[in-house]
Amino acid sequence: MLLNTSRTICRLSSGRRFVAQYIPNDFKPPFIPLTSESGFAGAVGNTPLLKLNKLSQETGRNIYAKAEFMNPGGSIKDRAALFIVEDAERKGLIAPGGTIVEGTAGNTGIGLAHIARAKGYKCVIYMPNTQAPSKMDLLRLLGAEVNPVPVVPFTDPMNFNHQAKRHAESLDNAVWTNQFDNLANRQAHIESTGPEIWAQLDGQVDGFTCSTGTGGTFAGVTRYLKDISAGKTQCVLADPPGSVVHSYIQSNGEALDRSGGSFTEGIGQGRITNNLAQDIGLIDYSIKIPDAESIKMVYRLLDEEGLYVGGTGALNVVAAVEVAKNLPEGSNVVTLLADSAHKYAERIFSKKWLIEKGLYEHIPKELQKYAILA
């Protein structure tokens, strides 16, 4: 950028001279300055929207991905964590020095742990013991008490969510944040993620897709985009193997097929959550994404776009490509990169682990060079 500036010779008290350049009063910086006077909380959201150039060229559509790994806690779940805690504060459910308790597969817990530290709360997390050890380590580093528990269905009283609820009820000045059914989760995306996407593309959003865990992100963004576009934006739910949501949508609510399993973490669901139920009627259709396609996209995004993302983000991009194929040439399709690969690297970049899971063979041979971990 060339600036029309004036130059003036100035003299310091030491006698040394320097040249001062004055920037014109009408100068506008080539960025939007962001200063958070409220610390961590004020830095949540306002993430970049990245065009995925290689995939856009291949499809003849513009595929964009929102870089949610650039939230201060490293994932899209910072948004829900902030809204849920501030909603509890407004309702008087927690007072200074209290305890935040949640059942989470990881990222919401990490967001809550950050918020708890910033606001002076204690944090207790219950999570499935199948989650990446690095997630548990990070939670402990943030001062949270972590309770890994065996994976059982939601109908079982020992499900990690039910254990979290009982723990909160046993304490004074504690709140179970209940991310799966607490509508403050969905509201976070009605008020932040959805409006950001719409503004970043000047209202030209033809399609939106992402996977669901709690359902808050998909439901909130879908609600906002459907409302502001008068129903024109196509909203498609993406589901991994082992989740019931795709079968529920395809069967008009008659089936809950949970067959299969996935290497992805924190997405897929064994029931229809309260967050998702609010807007399930707005869904245009759903698609199931095989693990083979998701792991391949992890490696493609790293190689072609320089993006180091986890399985959820990769699955979302696969879905965006599928949605793009059903829209006119030149359409804009948006998805989300939920977090980076840092918490999953010991698995998804381990040749041994990939072979054990039957995934290595699905990575193109020219990209297998990135599976460098033992």
Residues carrying an active site annotation: 77
- Sign for the pseudo-dihedral over CA of 144, 145, 150, 155: negative
Instruction: Give whole-number Cα distances, 99 to 94, 188, 250, in Å.
Output: 8, 21, 40
Evaluate whether 333 touches 207 at the Cβ level (below 8 Å). Answer: yes
Maximum C-alpha span of the chain: 84
Residue with tokens 């909130």: 220
Positions of E strands within 56-196: 62-67, 99-103, 122-128, 145-149, 174-176
Evaluate whether 212 touches 236 at the Cβ level (below 8 Å). Answer: no
- Sign for the pseudo-dihedral over CA of 120, 125, 131, 136: positive
Instruction: Give whole-number Cα distances, 261 to 91, 134, 210, in Å.
Output: 38, 21, 18
Evaluate whether 235 touches 209 at the Cβ level (below 8 Å). Answer: yes
Count of CB atoms situated within 10 Å of the CB of 80: 31
- Sign for the pseudo-dihedral over CA of 169, 175, 180, 184: positive
Residue with tokens 């004074």: 172
Tell me phi and psi for residue 146, to 5 degrees: -115, 130
SS3 (DSSP) at 88: helix
SS3 (DSSP) at 277: helix
Tell me phi and psi for residue 326, to 5 degrees: -95, 5
Positions of E strands within 60-121: 62-67, 99-103
Give CA angle at 219 (324, 166), nearest 5°: 140
